[in-house]
Amino acid sequence: MRKNTAPEALQELEFRIEISQRWGRVCRMVGIDCTPEGAFVIGGRIMNDPEVRRLSFNPRYQIRDEEFPAAFETDWPKLFKALGPARCAALAARVRLPDHV
């Protein structure tokens, strides 16, 4: 196994920071506080939850790319606001890991 060079290690660190910030924000919106590593895992569980997945394909909760209209990103704050506190709490209970990573 080859060791990372300084630029590769920095690039890897920046990638991990970006991922933890993105998914950490999503986890906090649902009411889950977790480690950066846990944010990636739990964020994936949130994204793949059947209710969230169904809602993410609703155009009301999408941010469309102007250049490529078929490409979109989920508007997480809007989606979770529509879910409301009770359904967000139920979602958090479904996706939380036993040890609260």
CB-neighbour burial class of residue 48 (10 A; exposed 0-12, middle 13-18, buried 19+): exposed
For residue 101, count other CB atoms closer than 10 A to its CB.
16
Q: Per-residue pLDDT tens for 4-56?
A: 677 888 888 888 888 888 888 999 999 998 888 888 889 989 999 999 999 99
Burial state string for 59-91 with b = 16 or more CB within 10 A and e = fewer than 16? eebbeeeeeeeeeeebebeebbeebeeeebeeb
For residue 50, what pLDDT is reported? 95
Q: Per-residue pLDDT tens for 51-95?
A: 999 999 999 999 998 888 888 899 999 999 999 999 999 999 999
For residue 19, what pLDDT is reported? 82
Q: Is the pLDDT of residue 2 over 60?
A: no
For residue 96, what pLDDT is reported? 82
pTM of the model: 0.75
Q: Is the pLDDT of residue 1 over 60?
A: no
